[in-house]
Amino acid sequence: MTAPSAARPRLHIALVEDDPLVADSLGDFLGREEYQVHPCPSGAALRALLSRAPVDLILLDLGLPDEDGFALAAQIRAQSPVPIIMLTGRGADVDRIVGLELGADDYVVKPFNPRELLARIKAVTRRAQAAPPPPPIPTAAPTQKGYHFAGWTLDLALRRLVQPNGAIADLSTTEFELLTVLVESHGEVLSRQEILRRCGRTSDAVFERSIDVTILRLRRKIEANPQQPAFIRTERGIGYLFATQPTPIG
């Protein structure tokens, strides 16, 4: 007789919501759908959870009592690829675009139908589970074009950033493009508008705000001390500059 198959483990969802009524209602609904839901009433509670247990998805309410939800999302994305769905009463296009620019996988405006949220959760987790692993690091072909700086290699041909230890840094497309603009303009202070122009994007309030968040993510990934950056420095009231002299290669 064939042994029964093991039950599929339930996906673990962190529900970051400070309204206990909403958290209880949504938690009960998702629990009935076989999800394991851990309520987090604040950003601090979410960090405490992530420090001790992995999660498969974060449902993030932007209106938190202790910090800005956008900033929290940016910090999470800088440290982890865990899927994030933002839940918010802010329905403006500006907020939606900023949320997606910061790395959110989806954005749901309150009030919403729980069934619609469930469908979005399933779609996001399917994409996350189907995402291919990062490609292996090529060893045969040398880098054709790029820059060396302080042990790092910005490879423009393969569109990757190689750390001093040889590992590939996990950069988003936006982060790679912004870093490339700064490195190629080293020593030159660039305004947010100029950075957007050199990245080939239209300058408006939405994308200018996203520059600051992308800089924050980059610093967390490449600076030894993000609070006292050696590479990407801020010129208050003006913009940013790449302060280290890179060496062209190729």
| Mean pLDDT per 10-residue section of the chain, whose length is 250 residues | 51 93 93 93 90 92 82 82 87 74 84 91 84 51 74 89 90 86 94 85 62 88 92 92 90
Tokens of 69: 């939800």
The CATH number that applies at residue 20 is 3.40.50.2300
Number of domains making up the chain? 2
The pLDDT value recorded for residue 80 is 82
Examine residue 2 and state whether it is found in any structural domain, yes or no.
Answer: no
Convert 89-108 into a string of H (helix), E (strand) and C (coil): CCCCHHHHHHHHHCCCCEEE
**Pair 64, 170 in one domain:** no
> Does residue 137 lie within any of the structural domains?
no
> Is 82 found in the same domain as 180?
no
Q: Tell me the CA end-to-end span of the chain in Å, nearest whole number.
A: 64
Q: Is residue 7 part of a domain?
A: no
Looking at residue 229, which CATH number applies to its domain?
1.10.10.10
Residue with tokens 């938190």, as numbered in its chain: 64
Q: Please check whether residues 20 and 114 belong to one and the same domain.
A: yes
Residues 18 and 123 in one domain: yes
Give the pLDDT confidence score for residue 141 in this predicted structure: 47
pLDDT value, residue 79: 79
Q: Are residues 54 and 156 in the same domain?
A: no
66 and 125 within one domain = yes
In a domain, 23, yes or no: yes
Q: Is residue 1 part of a domain?
A: no
The answer to the question of residue 92 being in a domain is: yes
The verdict on whether omega for the bond into residue 9 sits within 30 degrees of 0, i.e. cis, is: no
136, part of any domain: no
Indicate whether 21 and 118 sit together in one domain. yes
Last residue of a domain, one of 104, 130, 156: 130
| Residue 92 half-sphere exposure toward CB, CA atoms < 13 A | 5
- Indicate whether 88 and 159 sit together in one domain: no
Instruction: Spell out the SS3 assignment of the chain.
Output: CCCCCCCCCCCEEEEECCCHHHHHHHHHHHHHCCCEEEEECCHHHHHHHHHHCCCCEEEEECECCCCEHHHHHHHHHHHCCCCEEEEECCCCHHHHHHHHHCCCCEEEECCCCHHHHHHHHHHHHHHHHHCCCCCCCCCCCCCCCEEEECCEEEECCCCEEECCCCCECCCCHHHHHHHHHHHHCCCCCECHHHHHHHCCCCCCHHHHHHHHHHHHHHHHHHCCCCCCCCCEEEECCCEEEECCCCEEEC
Q: Are residues 118 and 17 in the same domain?
A: yes
Positive or negative, the CA dihedral 190, 193, 194, 199 is: positive
User: What is the residue range of 58's domain?
Assistant: 12-130
Domain membership flag for residue 3: no
Q: Is 16 in the same domain as 121?
A: yes
Residue 201, pLDDT score: 64
Same domain, residue pair 152 and 116: no
Q: How far is CA 219 from CA 87, 134, 176, 207, 225, in A?
A: 27, 22, 12, 18, 8
